[in-house]
Amino acid sequence: MGIIDKLRAELIDIVEWIDDSRHTLVWRFPRFRNQIKYGAQLVVRPGQSAIFVKQGQIADVFGPGHHRLETRNLPILSTIAGWKHGFDSPFKAEVYFVSTRQITDLKWGTPNPVLMRDPDFGPVRVRAFGTYTLRALDPATLLKELVGTDSSFEANEIHELLRSIISTSFADVIAKSELPILDLAANYQRLSDELREMVVQRIDDEYGLDLPQLYIVNVSVPAEVEQALDTRSSINAIGDMATFQAYQLGQAMPVAAANPAGGLAGAGVGLGMGAAMAGPMLSGASGAAPNPPQSPPPPPAPPAVLWHVAQAGQSFGPFTEAQVAQAIAEGRIQRDTSMWTAGMAGWAAAASLDALAALFGTPPPPPPAESG
């Protein structure tokens, strides 16, 4: 031993840990050859415990406070060392400081989906994540089971183990709850309490740890299940599906009529959609009224005459007589517009056709000749 080391060993020691970290659970006090002077000052701050280890055996555990290391307050260590002279020379022991405060900002999540049985959707895979806090409950057990001879033990060194325990416990809690997916969010607090209790039972005695707080932040389902839930919500919000379909057809009529592909083509689509809209509405109304007495069916209607219109070198149609009449009234079909229907040899002016001539009215007589 050098002279400086020998003098250092003869000085009164102050054994303490100023914890400037946020996630350190256990820290070993560095000392030259593990020598601690008799009468040294041990300072244990709030949220800490100090453990003396002699020859691989836990000797004493000190709580928060200011301690003078003497024979009277180290009875276990004195017995182990077998010293009878009151520590006249430095003794060798390892001192581990254990943080007993809560370590926050710890997160957990299910690495793989958890399968649950839903009464509406059947087997569904869910994922969950949340936060928790960690605290050393039994420093001696923690030192023996997890730390060993590690000079510094961080919370992230046990993170994977805790996450596995929480994920397994979450699967058990979800299975026992028998809650449908739609009710999970309303029961996060109760499920969090049950999950924390189950996890603490598994880590308390075995590792000397406690989880003062554990929260389920979210439980998510696959995208296809979310889409099914959204569809169901939309259907429930719509209510009467027949009325909604009629409303959609009514909204689409102005758009179809304003189609820039052609005025007559748009008009035909609009009128056709109007007829389609009337069908569901009438069927819905007849469904609400009592069935009338049965009567003989009417004779079949004569086949409708369908017209084709030629404009700008293109053919449009077919159009019903009602559609043609409306187009003539609006001025979209003129007297000289070329028309054709089945049975005609070729195209002819609209005013020259007997079936359409009456729709144009009587033309005015020619103006009188000017006098000379």
Whole-model pTM: value is 0.55
Average pLDDT over residues 244-270: 55
pLDDT digit string, tens, across residues 317-338 = 788 888 888 888 888 888 888 9
pLDDT digit string, tens, across residues 298-316 = 777 667 788 888 887 788 8
DSSP 3-state of 47: coil
In this predicted structure, the answer to whether residue 85 has a pLDDT above a threshold of 50 is no
Q: Which of the residue ranges 11-15, 117-121, 309-313 would you say has the lowest mean pLDDT?
A: 11-15
Quote the pLDDT of residue 310: 87
pLDDT digit string, tens, across residues 214-236 = 999 999 888 887 777 777 777 76
In the block, residue with structure tokens 């000397």: 208
Quote the pLDDT of residue 316: 83
Q: 236 lies in a domain? A: no
Residues 83 and 169 placed together within one structural domain of the fold: no
Q: 58 lies in a domain? A: yes
Determine the structural domain holding residue 264 and report its residue range.
Answer: 241-274+304-360
Q: 27 lies in a domain? A: yes
Q: How many residues does the chain have?
A: 372
Nearest-angstrom CA–CA distance, 123 and 117: 4
When comparing pLDDT for 78 and 162, which is higher?
162
Nearest-angstrom CA–CA distance, 191 and 196: 9
Residues 206 and 246 placed together within one structural domain of the fold: no
Highest mean pLDDT among 198-202, 281-285, 302-306: 198-202
In this predicted structure, the answer to whether residue 245 has a pLDDT above a threshold of 70 is no
- Residue ending a domain, choose from 167, 196, 226: 226
Quote the pLDDT of residue 55: 77
Residues 269 and 332 placed together within one structural domain of the fold: yes
Total domain count, the chain: 3
Task: State the alpha helices, DSSP H only, in the chain.
Answer: 3-10, 75-81, 139-142, 159-177, 188-207, 223-238, 241-257, 263-288, 321-329, 354-357
